[in-house]
Chains A and B, each alone.
Chain A
Amino acid sequence: MRLVRFSQPSFQTVNDPFDAFTQEIDRLFALPNYSAARHQGNSAFRAPAVDVHEDKTNVYVTAELPGLTKDAIDIAFDDRVLTISGERKLEVPAQDSAVARRERFHGRFERQLAIDRNVDRDQIKAVYKDGVLTVTLPKQEEAKPRQIEVSFN
């Protein structure tokens, strides 16, 4: 048995009960949709959107980080907490050009996730493809489900 380390549930349920409701509100006000609002503006600090998936052997954390270079992303895992951080530099236009519209976020970003599984921290891998970062966290042997055979005498 393991005590719950974090008071809040680490993972939410798959089906967001408010999703249909939010869509209805968006439709009512003819807004493009609510998730777009999260990307608006340029605050100094931003948390990228993440998904968490798992299968028998791994936990997968995916984060939306479009248009970065590999060195701009830092990944750390410590005490069951995965930290994805980095910076998107402000692109200053060339001398003879001007910014007509700036909606994309720039500045530092950071996201921390409590991983509620036993993870082999030495085998964590990350791939950055199509602007999506996928961190693969292999489950430790004892965390994998094991079939226990019942023997009859």
Chain B
Amino acid sequence: MNCTTNYSPTATQATPAQFTTPAVNVVESKDQFVLEAEMPGVAKDGLEVSVEGRNLTLVGRRLTRSAEVSTLYREITARDFKRVFELDETIDTARITARIEQGLLRVTLPKVEAVKPRKISVVE
């Protein structure tokens, strides 16, 4: 997976400063990549995970706060989360799965069968 393309230039230009970039961890194993993105305040309903061509787009929309309260101090940005990743050819886009648990989005990106290392047993 090519992580150097974090943010597609077109997306940045179209919506300047509308989104915040979630921090991610990526772990690669022999048959898959697992991507974890921090999206606090995002529930399952606010999540949009899409693949278009070789681009994986993660969007997390925060729940809107009730207007009943008044704000005394604010650090948490109200912006929604967005990040675009360019997927490597080795990823089987049809089998990508995603789940969110306590504001942590976990995307599993399986590799295509052909690139998985295979052990060939030697017949005597």
Mark A residues whose CB is within 8 Å of B.
10-12, 14, 16, 23, 26-27, 30, 32-33, 35-36, 39-40, 49-55, 59-60, 62, 64-68, 91, 93-94, 96-105, 128-132
Q: Which residues of B contact A (CB under 8 A)?
A: 1, 3, 6-7, 12, 16-17, 19-30, 33, 36, 38-43, 63, 65, 68-77, 79, 101-104
- A66 and B76: CB pair below 8 A? no
Residue of B nearest to A36 (CB): B21
User: Given A35-B77, A66-B104, are A130 and B23 also a contact pair (CB < 8 Å)?
Assistant: no
The answer to whether residues A103 and B76 also contact, given A33-B17, A53-B69, A53-B70 and a CB cut-off of 8 A, is no
Residues in A with CB closer than 8 Å to B29 are 93-94, 96-98
Write the chain A residue with the least CB distance to B81: A36
Decide if the interface of chain B is mainly helix, strand, loop or mixed: loop
- One of A14, A67, A129 near B36 (C-beta < 8 A): A67
Closest chain B CB from A73 CB (angstroms): 11
- Residues of chain A contacted by B27 (CB below 8 angstroms): 93, 97-100
Query: Measured between alpha carbons, how far is A14 from B65 in the docked complex, in Å?
Result: 15
Closest Cβ–Cβ distance, residue B60 to chain A (whole Å): 10
Q: Is the CB of B104 within 8 A of A100?
A: no
| Contact A64-B70, Cβ < 8 Å, known A40-B23, A100-B26 | no
Does B73 lie within 8 Å of A11, measured CB to CB?
yes
User: Which residues of the partner chain B approach A55 to less than 8 Å between Cβ atoms?
Assistant: 68-70
**B residues near A91, Cβ cutoff 8 Å:** 25
Q: B29, B42, B63, B71 — which one has the most chain A CB atoms within 10 A of its CB?
A: B71
